[in-house]
Amino acid sequence: MVKLNRRIADALCTAITIGFLMDNNDGKSGSKTKFIYEDGAREHTNLLDLLKEYRVEGTSITPQTSKAEQPFIWANSRGGFSKIETGGFASELKTLVGRLEEEINKVDSGGLHGAYIGGIADIATKKLNLLVPSLLWQRSRNTHMSNDEPSNATVSSSYESSRAISQVLIDELKGYRAAKGGIILESRSIDRIRAFGDLPKKLTSNALFASVHGLITAMTDAPPINSNSVNVELALGKDTCKIAACIPCSLFASSQNAPASATHLGRGDNWNFPENFGIGSRGIYASWEKTIGDMYYKGMGAGLVGDKIRAIPEFIALVEKDKSMIPQIFLDSLTFEGKFTKRIADTLQG
């Protein structure tokens, strides 16, 4: 039986991402996300050149706004807010972001990529409910995965790094007190965070882990309730200047007709839903599954991309044997860590 490996994982992520890039620039009406990158990042220019070589039309990636100017990501069904609406709120968020980053930066990161904490905000009242930083939960390997890829050592190292930064945020938020004139953390936010215990220090042997980004916690647990409310995610840490959602987060947001304000092509390592999310949330999950399938087919039909990917024998045997499994295999593919820019380049140039 063919098992999921790095080559298959990157190829599947490539097809879905290219489909998403094309769908986002198809000229149809409706709100869309914006693909951005850190100004000066050569890998994105190389990626656009590579897509042209593969006859992929209609993609756009632009330089990002400074993190200092807008220290958060948002998602809501209105398709975002204007700078006038968000300007004052963004300035108030800077105090909170600065405080949290001071605590994060005390941690010896050893390559931490950043922390992501989500919530629901009311722009008019400056009230914010933060809903716990990246949740981590242990998961098992599916039958189409081997016991060797990704390796136990890689998984354990990634988990310990992710745990360290999430735990710092949990501890800091438990003792949060709002500064005068600053963001107000509502009582239910504080109560929830204080009830959240310590994350397990280690995984059991041969286990994987799921990382539930803040935006996903927010969108599934506390969606907007009126025209002033918006789901937000703060991107924190000295090793990240991203102000955009990762590809997996943005795909989910788009599936709920609430696109992220911006999307990056960096990492989305070990991304997943809250534990037991499918129970009682079938409609939301089904919308996400459909989006993943739609983007896959669009990407495989883009220029010469499908021809390149279908030339990988094991890809056909695993992914196209039962296409209903594509969403689950996509989640499993995210345990093979790496930037989406590199996944695409390795797949198309390999």
pLDDT band, residue 183 (cuts 50/70/90): low
> Which residues constitute the domain of residue 313?
1-64+288-350
Compute the residue count for the chain. Answer: 350
Token pair belonging to 164: 């360290």
pLDDT band, residue 218 (cuts 50/70/90): confident
pLDDT band, residue 84 (cuts 50/70/90): very low
Please report whether residue 164 resides in a domain. Answer: yes
* Residue 184 in this model has a pLDDT that exceeds 60: no
Q: Answer yes or no: do 225 and 78 share one domain.
A: yes
Average pLDDT, the chain: 81
Q: Answer yes or no: do 232 and 88 share one domain.
A: yes
Mention every residue, 6+ apart, whose C-beta is less than 8 A from residue 197: none
Angle between helices 282-300 and 326-333 (to 10 degrees): 80
Q: Answer yes or no: do 19 and 134 share one domain.
A: no
Contact yes or no for 223/232 (Cβ under 8 A):
no
The pLDDT tens digits of the residues spanning 94-106 come to 777 777 777 666 6
pLDDT of res. 149: 92
| Mean of pLDDT values over 328-335 | 97
- Alpha carbons 253 and 101: distance in angstroms, whole number: 26
Please report whether residue 260 resides in a domain. Answer: no
Q: Answer yes or no: do 93 and 58 share one domain.
A: no
The pLDDT tens digits of the residues spanning 219-237 come to 888 777 777 778 888 877 6
Please report whether residue 248 resides in a domain. Answer: no
pLDDT of res. 180: 46
**How many domains are there within the chain?**
2
* Residue 267 in this model has a pLDDT that exceeds 80: yes
Q: Answer yes or no: do 5 and 107 share one domain.
A: no
Q: Answer yes or no: do 230 and 87 share one domain.
A: yes
Cis (ω within 30 of 0) for the bond into 150?
Answer: yes
* Residue 151 in this model has a pLDDT that exceeds 60: yes
Q: Answer yes or no: do 131 and 203 share one domain.
A: yes
Q: Answer yes or no: do 228 and 294 share one domain.
A: no
For tokens 């092509």, the residue is: 265
